[in-house]
Amino acid sequence: MRTEPTREATLGQLLDETVSKFPDTDAIVYPDRDYRLTWSQFSDVIDTVAKGLMAMGVQRGEKVMIWATNVPHWPTLLYATAKIGAILLTINTNYKEKELEYVFTQSESENIFLIDGVRDTDYVQVVYNLLPELKTQPRDTFHSERFPHLKRVFFLGPEKHRGMYSMNELMSMACQVSDEEYEARKAEVSCYDVVNMQYTSGTTGFPKGVMLTHHNIGNNGYWIGNYQNFTEKDRICIPVPLFHCFGCVLGMMSSLNTGATLVILEKYDPVNTMMAIEKEKCTAVYGVPTMFIAMLEHPLFDKFDFSSLRTGIMAGSPCPVKSMYECVEKMNMTQVTSVYGLTEASPGITQTRWDEPSVERKCTTVGKVLPGIEMALINPDTGEFCKLGEHGEVCCRGYNVMKGYYNMPEETAKSIDKNGWLHSGDVGVLDEEGYLSITGRLKDMIIRGGENIYPKEVEDFIHTMDGIQDVQVVGVPSKKYGEQPGAFIILKKNVDMTEQDVLDFCRGKIAWYKTPKYIAFVDTYPMTASGKILKYKLREMSAELWPDA
């Protein structure tokens, strides 16, 4: 383990170090198509794509959008753009035409790579709708009246589409760039350059482009991997989307710093994930709580061998305590960790360690602050630091804080205060040993007639009831009390339950005002593409379900 919390290195430099240490170790594996590259082979592909981008005219500082699931060239493009000083701009795979139009305009991106589409969205047709000139103009003189900054469109697949370059064409142009030109370009890159832009989920207002540097995500990835005790012998199963910090940083940057193998799935499926763990003997698996719950509750769960697992990350949204315990007991994840953070923080702020002495703290907290980062709980009303045991907004400052929101100085100033503290919008509490527990969001916290109710506390309690697969608690607008707690519950298969059953379970065990006043049984929750539950949608549903609350 290094002694300093940060080091000044670009992603390209970190990659070259890892390749020199572990040239013959697997770097990338796609178990569903038997695609695997050693670190040396992966590096060769990256260099070819990087040179191809240079030959196409991609300059330092240009933005390269990628609108794709976790396809094999996704990791390649992250490192290829990093090596030549370009910026990989990741696009949510759930976006539709209006959202892509917004990002095209707001980001001023010069390039886009895309696949054919996902589910009911035809990406190629969406791009043609926005860029009709692709079908009429020569590629080398392409110009869009609507998006004048856009220069090039690439298709990530073997098919040919009018106006779009293929990956084969891009890679064939690498020979036009000499090794000397390539080395000179790499030498220009600073670790403080922006390397990655990620648009926040946009659960409130328009999405904002978070600018992250090599220094931000390279160092954050080091500690995320260190806290899982990763080495080149580890194999990390990644079913989470790479466009999100979970896959891009917690996954890829941990691998980059340690030489661990990435076992990537193009998209999440519980059976395919369990098959990948068994087939590739993965030692770690990443997922949001709903992903783990889907595996644990799957009828084929007992058919799979999880004996190779030891660690991983459950994060992205508050982790049900019961589910964390089940992962430890049933999936052999005795060294599982939990990471807390947000995209603007690169993303990790706190993490439990693989060798956490207390299983309870591993399952009930999100750990202690990571090295090189300051954390404080600040009273949102007074601006004062909270005392031990007081609930407050989680704030941090340090190497991990984003460079800002692209072209949004006012929004940046709202997020990072004059003292450099990044405000998360999450409510938490610290115990006497420095362990952080997240109790809700400022906007999720329910205020019932002056009583503060933290949804996660109620959710964790209801989770202990037999027959419940998942539960989300939100504030239901109330004329009399302002808000009342409402619970949206997903039941396990073949379980019958009534609202009264839930009320009886709560009675006398949690404070009466925390007991859900309203209960709805649902099959699914509204979610982002990265698996985060959209609580604001549940609040909207609650207002419709119980208009007379």
Q: How far apart are CA 364 and CA 359, in angstroms?
A: 9
pLDDT at 201: 58
**How do residues 238-283 score in pLDDT, each as one tens digit?**
999 999 999 999 999 999 999 999 999 999 999 999 999 999 999 9
C-alpha angle with apex 103: 99 to 107, nearest 5 degrees?
Answer: 170
Residue type, position 176, single letter? Q
Q: DSSP letter at 344? A: G
Are 311 and 287 in contact by the 8 Å Cβ rule? The answer is: no
> CA-CA distance, 436 to 386, in Å (whole number)?
13
Q: Give CATH superfamily name and number for 446-545.
A: ANL, C-terminal domain (3.30.300.30)
Task: Name the class of domain 25-189.
Answer: alpha beta
Listed in order, strand segments (DSSP E) in 266-391 are: 284-287, 311-314, 339-341, 348-351, 368-369, 373-378
CB 520 within 8 A of CB 487: yes
- Please count the residues of the chain: 549
Helix or strand holding residue 500 (H, E): helix 499-506
Report which of 287, 285, 240, 291 is spatially closest to residue 260, judged by C-alpha positions: 285
Per-residue pLDDT at 43: 98
Relative to beta strand 26-30, strand 261-264 is: parallel
Report CA-CA distances (Å) from 23 to 38, 41, 77, 95, 462.
6, 8, 20, 37, 49
Buried b / exposed e along 449-461 (16+ C-beta atoms within 10 A): eeeebbbbebbbb
pTM score, whole prediction: 0.87
Kindly state the greatest CA–CA separation across the chain.
75
Instruction: Report residue 389: phi and psi, to 5°.
Output: 90, -10
Task: Tell me what pLDDT residue 204 has.
Answer: 44
Q: Are 379 and 386 in contact (CB under 8 A)?
A: yes
Written as six digits, the tokens of 520 are 């709805």
Q: Calculate ∠ Cα 200-204-207, nearest 5°.
A: 35
- Residue range(s) occupied by CATH 3.40.50.12780 in the chain: 25-189, 209-441
The pairing of beta strand 392-398 with beta strand 373-378: antiparallel
Alpha helices in 166-238 (DSSP H): 167-172, 179-188, 214-226
> DSSP readout, 3-57?
SSS-----HHHHHHHHHHH-TTSEEEEETTTTEEEEHHHHHHHHHHHHHHHHHHT
Spatial distance between the Cα atoms of 456 and 438, rounded to a whole number of angstroms: 8
- Under CATH, what is the fold of the domain 209-441? Rossmann fold (3.40.50)
pLDDT of residue 307: 98
Domain(s) of CATH 3.30.300.30: residues in the chain: 446-545
pLDDT 10s digits, 116-142: 999 888 999 999 999 999 999 999 999
Q: Helix or strand or coil: residue 499?
A: helix
pLDDT < 70 positions in the chain: 201-206, 317-318, 450
